[in-house]
């Protein structure tokens, strides 16, 4: 197994790190100030980064996001400029080779402080909420739904980062409108549900159920509407299920990092981890099986296998 890329140290300004991405300020090929996003092989679950990574995961995420950005190009404007490491300034050949396949050069935006989530099926935290009170993020649903059931209509369930914990916190539409304005909130909901519906139907044609997904958007002074940013429709940002194995009433087999979450829950049940940092080391079998699921999702969705050795 190849070595996972967990961190980068590049001669570029203003480095910052998310849970799985490293970001730097760069100059784009057109001379405009831009942003470099590097998808590392770090993997997080329950808002905690694991001690080891999934070798090649960042490449899968970048290539799949690029596929979707291109697929949606006539539906929504986005931030993607280039995924070619040769376009990154101030790096030598070895540094560019180490990043090939996992870089996104983007237009800079002011991030809209709302995570836009579309839910088409009852799963995860939505299922746990429903079991308590018949609601998902405050929205009433019919009685008698099962874990994994398709919802009568997709739901828009926005969230934001809590100031004290930094964790995602579900909010109402009204709370979102207080943050970004009524018009922006309406646009976010309409766009989120439309993009989800388009991708859901396409994924279904490829034998995959897109159960839920999340988006982020950013604004620019020279753009009339927000741009779609970050990653889209990847195993890290979406819940993918094989359509031929869908059986409501239980947890579904998945192509996403639910496999990692399920493993971690066994550690929690044994008292070996409490969902707090630091994250545990994932066994080789979990690493290998997770990567296999990501690669299968890529191949099913794009119609072509991804050869990680080519990068």
- Mean pLDDT across 121-141: 94
CATH topology of domain 111-266: D-amino Acid Aminotransferase; Chain A, domain 1 (3.30.470)
- Residues composing the chain: 311
Q: What is the average pLDDT score of the chain?
A: 94
The pTM for the full model equals 0.94
Q: How far apart are CA 129 and CA 284, in angstroms?
A: 33
Question: Residue 24 CB: number of other CB atoms within 10 A?
Answer: 20
For residue 164, pLDDT beyond 60: no
Res 2: pLDDT:
79
Angstrom distance (rounded) from CA 154 to CA 230: 22
Encode pLDDT of 198-244 as tens digits: 999 999 999 999 999 999 999 999 999 999 999 999 999 999 999 99
Cα torsion through 30, 60, 251, 196, rounded to 10: 30
| Whole-number Å distance between alpha carbons of 225 and 194 | 15
**Mapping DSSP to helix (H, G, I), strand (E, B) and coil, where does residue 223 land?**
coil
Chain segment 238-267, per-residue pLDDT in tens = 999 999 999 999 999 999 888 999 999 999
Confidence of residue 163 (pLDDT cuts 50, 70, 90): low
Percent of the chain past pLDDT 70, that is, above it, reads 97
Secondary structure string (H, E, C) spanning 137-195 = CCEECCCCCCCCCEEEEEEECCEEECCCCCCEEECCHHHHHHHHCHHHHHHHHHHHHHH
Q: What is the pLDDT of residue 168?
A: 78
User: Per-residue pLDDT for 141 more than 80?
Assistant: yes
Look at residue 165 and tell me whether its pLDDT is greater than 90. Answer: no
**Which residue do the tokens 């889209």 mark?**
232
What pLDDT was estimated at residue 169? 87
- Helix ranges, 25-151 (H): 57-71, 93-99, 124-133
Task: From residue 234, give the alpha-carbon distance in Å to each of 131, 143, 215, 267, 293.
Answer: 27, 31, 11, 26, 11
- Report pLDDT digits (tens) over 35-47: 999 999 999 999 8
Helices (H), the chain: 57-71, 93-99, 124-133, 173-180, 182-205, 258-269, 284-302
Structural domain spans, the chain: 111-266
Is 162 or 212 the better-scoring residue by pLDDT? 212
């Amino acid at each position: 197994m190849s070595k996972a890329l967990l961190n980068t140290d590049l001669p570029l300004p203003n480095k910052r790190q998310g849970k799985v991405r490293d970001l730097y300020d760069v100059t784009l090929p057109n001379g405009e100030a831009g942003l470099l996003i590097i998808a590392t092989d770090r993997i997080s679950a329950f808002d905690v980064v694991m001690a080891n990574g999934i070798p090649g995961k960042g490449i899968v995420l970048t290539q799949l996001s690029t596929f979707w950005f291109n697929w949606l190009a006539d539906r929504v404007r986005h931030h993607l400029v280039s995924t070619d490491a040769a376009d990154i300034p101030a790096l030598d050949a070895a540094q560019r080779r180490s990043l090939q396949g996992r870089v996104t050069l983007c237009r800079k935006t002011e991030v809209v402080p709302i995570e836009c989530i579309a839910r088409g099926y009852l799963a995860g935290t939505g299922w746990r909420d429903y079991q308590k009170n018949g609601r998902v993020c405050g929205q009433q649903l019919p009685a008698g739904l099962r874990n994994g059931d398709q919802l009568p209509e997709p739901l828009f369930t926005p969230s934001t980062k809590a100031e004290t914990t930094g964790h995602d916190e579900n909010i109402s539409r009204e709370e979102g409108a207080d943050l970004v304005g009524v018009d922006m909130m309406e646009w976010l909901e309409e766009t989120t549900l439309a993009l989800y519906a388009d991708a859901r139907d396409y994924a279904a044609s490829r034998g995959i159920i897109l159960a839920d997904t999340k988006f982020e958007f950013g604004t620019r002074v020279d753009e009339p509407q927000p741009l779609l940013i970050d990653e889209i429709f990847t195993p890290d940002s979406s819940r993918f299920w094989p359509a031929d194995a869908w059986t409501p009433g239980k947890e579904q087999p998945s192509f996403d990092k639910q496999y990692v979450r399920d493993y971690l829950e066994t550690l929690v049940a044994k008292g070996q981890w409490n969902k707090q940092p630091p994250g545990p080391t994932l066994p080789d079998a979990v690493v290998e099986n997770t990567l296999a699921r990501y690669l299968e999702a890529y191949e099913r969705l794009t119609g072509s296998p991804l050869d990680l050795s080519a990068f």
